Amino acid sequence: MAALDVPRSVHRYVEVDGLRIFYRETGTPGAPTMLLLHGFPSASHQFRRLIDALGRRYRLIAPDYPGFGYSDAPDSTSTGGGFSYTFERLADVIEGFCEQLELSRFVAYVFDFGGPVGMRLAARHPEWIAGLVVQNANAYEEGLSEMARGLASLRGIVDGDADKVRTALTLAATRGQYLKGVSDPDAIAPDGWTLDQHFLDLPGRKQVQVDLAFDYHTNIARYPQWQAWLREHQPPTLVLWGREDPFFVEAGAHAYRRDLPDAELRLFDTGHFALEENLPEMAGLIAGFLDRTWH
């Protein structure tokens, strides 16, 4: 029987700043390359189906941030450990990851937390960025829902702030992130939220998310800088957005066109994890974008 045309993925660790960082990779050097930056509370497994769909023609690389997925999760400085869970620090590690893998040019797929990580990388290394695929990754004030504004207002300086964050780290909340706003709940496999919650429930992992929630305001403060970067560099950009996202509302998708008038924009009648429901159409759009953009 002939072999099916399915890409062979590899799953490896690389050491960055003394941490073992897990990543998934498929494709061959020289192929159009895309770095997949995951969101909250997920990890590189959120891209597993996209990797299968596109990995034969393109090189796709998806790391887990420190404190997420299969990567090391050192104790937080907030609990007496030695690692500071801030978005700046996550970007430091992913920058080192790119240097270890000699990734000097790629399209960055940024989703949710991948937005602030990816935009920090772009600001540090504009020469690395061949283009952007932006999927429900906000960079504009108008894209923040009231829920998102409320969480971003927490600093950990008021009693009860940590408890408010922890209410978003339960199985019910994680499941809700996948199902809120979708058109067909039966199309959403439980694998994603089940694995996400498994990692969240590991010792120390909830504190990681509390620390990052208290740091989220630093991303909003950088929105004007990132918007200026987009205006200056005009990277080819494909914006894909689940319009029923309860965190990052549709206005945030349209806002990219203000600074990137040539950006391609496609909206989907789904929620935050749009790939879960709309992978076939989104994969086709991403493939076309990579073909047009890579040179």
Q: Give the pLDDT band of residue 28 (cuts 50, 70, 90).
A: confident
Return phi, psi of residue 144, to 5°: -90, 125
pLDDT digits (tens, 9 = 90+) for 30-78: 899 999 999 999 999 999 999 999 999 999 999 999 999 999 999 999 9
| 217 classed as catalytic | no
Percent of the chain with pLDDT strictly greater than 70: 98
SS3 content of the chain, % helix, strand, coil (to 5): 50, 20, 35
Could you state, in order of their start, the residue ranges of all structural domains in the chain?
A: 10-293
Q: Which CATH class is domain 10-293?
A: alpha beta
Residues 6+ apart with CB under 8 A from 50: 36, 60, 275, 279, 282, 283, 286
pTM of the full predicted structure? 0.97
Nearest to 108 by CA among 100, 96, 95: 95
Percent of the chain with pLDDT strictly greater than 90: 94
Output the CA–CA distances (angstroms, integers) from residue 105 to 59, 70, 108, 126, 128, in the order listed. Answer: 12, 25, 9, 9, 4
pLDDT digits (tens, 9 = 90+) for 148-196: 999 999 998 888 999 999 999 999 999 999 999 999 999 999 999 999 9
- Average pLDDT for 262-275: 98
Residues in the chain: 295
Q: How many helices (DSSP H) and strands (DSSP E) are in the chain?
A: 11, 8
> What is the SS3 assignment for 30?
coil
Nearest to 55 by CA among 88, 74, 33, 72: 33
Active-site option among 38, 45, 233, 272: 272
